[in-house]
Amino acid sequence: MSERKPLLEVDNVTLRFGGVVALDKVDFTLYEGEILGLIGPNGAGKTTCFNAMTGVYMPTDGAIRFRGQQISGKKRHKITKMGIARTFQNIRLFPEMTALENVQVGADAHNRGSVPSAMLRLPRFWQEERRGIKRAEELLEFVGIKGRTHELARNLPYGDQRRLEIARALATDPTLLCLDEPAAGFNPAEKVALLELIRKIRDSGVTVLLIEHDMRLVMGVTDRIVVLEFGKKIAEGTPAEVRDNPKVVAAYLGVPDAA
């Protein structure tokens, strides 16, 4: 393998809420072109870590860098424009908008048209509108729900709503896509299809950071895994290394850790 380039660096990040330490000196690096799993028992701090990376929370200590640039404390929309997109545990779509319109909202993150050009319907506005529609249609096909283009988001089956949220995140043209439990509520066949989609996203040039409870999916799709417990990193390595790590076994099974 050629020399890997760091894309995202989480450098000794601590996050406190009053007397509660949600993240305790968490430290890991995500490299370009890989699929990294972030796992751990409930309450381990996985989503909190996502929130710190995407501007929801400001770390108490430590730093988060994206392409070498400090992003800790930046506004969420600025982090999105830098190239980080995410999905959520609980689906956050616009239910009364069509699938196409939901994805167009993501594409609007990079529109450069001014308010006057939009109000006056100037040529630049229509050019961006056409580009946004074309991109949205391409992404709906990419995630496998092209046939749902003009259906309202609230009418889509649950699995298609998950795919739609991924399409909307991809519409922001990210370098890094953070998926927060994308397989939640999926049946076995849908999980297999999701695994293939995640690989397809990575193969398209987008690096992936994945939070997921389904260990079969995590072990089957990731290149490396970082394990959190009670806000601390307890293990990091390949799927095989993590699977056989006594600390990880203890964290998930609740047995004493003799290591």
Does residue 254 register a pLDDT over 70?
A: no
Residue 242 CA to residue 235 CA, distance in Å, equals 7
* Portion of the chain with pLDDT greater than 70, in percent: 89
Q: State the chain's mean pLDDT as an integer.
A: 89
Q: What is the pLDDT of residue 42?
A: 87
Least trusted range by pLDDT, from 8-12, 23-27, 88-92, 102-106: 88-92
- Same-fold call for 1-74+176-182+204-259 versus 89-173: yes
The bridge status of strand 35-39 relative to strand 61-66 is unpaired
> What tens digit of pLDDT does each residue of 167-201 get?
999 999 999 999 999 998 899 999 999 999 999 99
pLDDT digit string, tens, across residues 47-65: 999 999 999 999 999 999 9
Q: In Å, how far are 37, 66, 82, 130, 180 from 62, measured between CA atoms?
A: 21, 14, 20, 43, 23
Structure tokens at 230: 């009670």
What pLDDT is stored for residue 259 in this prediction? 41
pLDDT grade, residue 72 (50/70/90)?
confident
| Residue whose token pair is 């040529």 | 123
CATH code of domain 1-74+176-182+204-259 = 3.40.50.300
Domain coordinates in residue numbering, the chain: 1-74+176-182+204-259, 89-173
pLDDT band of residue 230 (cuts 50, 70, 90) is very high
Q: Residue 43 carries which DSSP code?
A: T
pLDDT band at 106 (very low <50, low <70, confident <90, very high): confident
Give the pTM. 0.87
Here the tokens at position 45 are 């701090």
Q: Which residue has the higher pLDDT, 84 or 2?
A: 84
Position 114 scores a pLDDT of 43
Question: What is the predicted pLDDT for the residue at 34?
Answer: 96
Position 91: which residue type? I
Q: Does the 89-173 domain belong in CATH 3.40.50.300?
A: yes
Could you tell me the two tokens for 206?
């987008």
